[in-house]
Structure 1
């Protein structure tokens, strides 16, 4: 230890641990399985995962700037991490080490605020609905890019979506 940091390592282990400590102030931090080819657990800090799409010719691209969902290719992929679980986490945290000068946006939506902003009649209608949650659309997209969804915690994964 104490030597120069590896230029390929985007964050030192100490910085990674600091991120985890900050998140622990908000609640329990879980260790989750690595789910795709673009992800790895930070060495020595398994609670923190690094996602990197560079430098990879197979990396997904969304260069149009259009954030409207396209069901043909599943982009952009809005999701809530681990929301398929019955004990879904209260929050997700994102820590960016190196951002591109153009693109690379990650948008967060305040779903509680969005729900509160809906008319009361619409909220009542939504309160009576149930959804089937599946990772299959994400798995298809990751396979297209050369990755895959991990098989860990398979018992908690929801079945493929049903058409209602």
Structure 2
């Protein structure tokens, strides 16, 4: 009887170890596939990253510059070049929406200043808010693109050490 129970325990232990080894191999394969996926997309991701940083920087400048500063027209021109050009080639849907919102707020502000209608400061506040929203959306897009899924750490992989 003891031999039967011992044999069953050995079989159970062996099968459990095999199942765990297969699960570990599957996890490794998934991690490697994700790494290869990011590696294959690396040229695109690097270009997207550079353009996202450029768009965020220009939006930041436009949110603090005033229209009578020398740098305003260069920054505004730069934004529209990015908006209608390169960024539109690499942006995801959420960044597209945030860029559109920023463009609308920017146009409302510049129209108010050019027409000299009322106080343009509330419109400038909406430009600042849209710039902040844009940078947050860009951040999320970058994280999602570079880290498609966070690695899962199973409790068995965590080891605690004493003092």
TM-score computed with the length of structure 2 as normaliser: 0.24
> Normalized per residue, which structure has more helix?
2
> Normalized per residue, which structure has more strand?
1
State which structure, 1 or 2, has the greater radius of gyration over its C-alpha atoms. 2
